[in-house]
Amino acid sequence: MNTVDQRVRLGVSACLLGEEVRYDGGHKRDRFLTETLGGFVEWVQVCPEVEAGMGTPRPAMRLVRAPGGSIRLITVVDGVDLTATMRTFAATRAKQLAAMDLDGYVLKKDSPSCGLERVRVYAESGPPARNGRGLFGLWKSLEAQGKENQHDAAAVKAQYEKAWRSADTKLTVEDL
């Protein structure tokens, strides 16, 4: 059995571990993360929306390109702008996570808070562009690997071997 000192420490979107923290009160539990990697990883959970005080359930949000080009985090139904709340939270939490010296991150793809790339950005008209990054995922202190690559064997192997090397362990992906 794996010992704690061999585990890598990874930040993770709490919904991916089955925590019911999504806007609709649900989760996006990922069995690969919980069942395959779970015994080898010490997870440090994060849910930017809940931790920023937005609660569960909460109104759905999306990224919107405002006049002038800035990206805003806006609730879908009533148009409340939560950009300042998320940016303030993200700045503080990113510093806390950086101080924890984590080996990497697994964040929820497509999320307007956690998504690392290709997050939908809506404009006044036309279809959304897939060129955004979630407001929490933007912080440069998060050297993150997006969840969309977790089932790509080469990406998984590269990420976790890098994490285990940086954690100074002898455990390899083949041990999984």
pTM, full prediction: 0.76
pLDDT score, position 158: 61
Residue among 106, 90, 100 nearest 140 (CA):
90
pLDDT tens for 18-58 read: 999 999 999 999 999 899 888 889 999 999 999 999 999 99
Question: 84 in helix, strand or coil?
Answer: helix
